[in-house]
Amino acid sequence: MRQMLRAWLQASRLPSQAYLFLPLLLGQVLAWYFTGQWSWVVFVLVQLFGLFDQLYIVYANDVADEATDRDNATPTLYSGGSRVLVEGALASATLLRAAWAMAGLAVASTLMIGVLAGHWLPLPLGLVGIALLWAYSFPPLKLSYRGGGEWLQTLGLGMVLPLLAFSAQAGDLRGFPWEVFAVLLPLNLATAIATALPDQSSDARAEKRTLVVVHGLGPARRFILVLAAGALALHGFYAAELLLIGDTAARWVLAVPAASLLLAAAVHLRAEPGTRAMDAFLFLVILTHLSYLAGLTWALL
């Protein structure tokens, strides 16, 4: 029993909840900030959607990438799957059934938002999020192999989630500050590319056409830094005026992301798969992204 529980916790990769929790939280805070609408019941349902959606994503991805993960000799905390299938801790069919169950619970969460709050837009947006993962990992599209998987990941986490969360609280998308995507989307894309860096060799053998495989480690690392730096620079152009949070608060939002990005730039040349420098680079790129989301949310409160 204890081993089974440990296997499910390993498969769930709970630290990756932050990828969904923060954009969903930001979307809801933006709705409160711009429309004045807030419901704690809706808040709980939106974050439950994020919990179930994340579990659907990691379970389904493990099933879709089982062969590639078995060939991956350089897994990290952030990439290479949970390893439960590789280690034989769980069966593929069991994990796939769990993925579908989590997808059903995620959709049910958005359905409850419609029933309880009368806000129905989260339901189709939630279905779009579910479909994006299927297009990412499974036939007939399987874009994580054909190319374009990073863009799907960016669209799902960087755009669909904030829109779903905003509409859950506000009822529609009127008043949404669309300019925020000038920062959110590049940061999400940088993270999506970064998490594929350690998997370059196994992805290449699996004939995955990720940006890292197609263009190589060096160009991918540089592109990540350019994306993140450009995103943070754009924050300076829009944040204080658009969000009315004041110049000082707008600058403080950048404190941790900018410091993290500078450290990432310092280690990026040594970031090779299987090295501590790669682990550090990944951590710092992810921290740049997530600390921006957390900082912007805090500044709006």
Tens of pLDDT, residues 103-116: 999 999 999 999 99
For the residues 181-194, what does the mean pLDDT come to?
A: 96
pLDDT of 290: 98
**Coil, strand or helix at 155:** helix
* Structure-token match 């999020």, residue found: 129
What pLDDT, on the 0 to 100 scale, is given for residue 69? 80
Dig out the tokens for 269 from the structure.
């040349």
Q: Which helix (H) or strand (E) holds 105?
A: helix 92-117
Under the banding of pLDDT at 50, 70 and 90, the label for residue 156 is very high
Q: Is residue 72 over pLDDT 80?
A: no
pLDDT band at residue 133 under the 50/70/90 scheme: confident
For the cut 70, the answer to whether the pLDDT of residue 231 exceeds it is: yes
What's the pLDDT score for residue 87? 87
pTM over 0.85: yes
Between these two residues, 63 and 1, which has the higher pLDDT value?
Answer: 63
Mean pLDDT value across the chain: 92
Taking the alpha carbons of 141, 72, 191, 228 in that order, is the dihedral positive or negative? Answer: negative
Residue holding tokens 């990720």?
210
pLDDT value, residue 292: 96
Predicted pLDDT of residue 237: 76
Q: Please tell me which residue, 96 or 206, carries the higher pLDDT value.
A: 96
- Give the chain's domains with CATH numbers: 2-300 (1.10.600)
Band (206; pLDDT cuts 50, 70, 90):
confident
pLDDT value of position 147: 87
Helix H or strand E encompassing 156: none
DSSP structural state of residue 159: I
CA atoms of 105 and 122, how far apart (whole Å): 14
pLDDT at 245: 63
* 127 three-state secondary structure: helix
Closest CA to 64 of 171, 142, 131, 3: 142
Q: What is the mean pLDDT of residues 134-155?
A: 89
Q: Which helix (H) or strand (E) holds 140?
A: none
For range 44-62, the mean pLDDT: 96
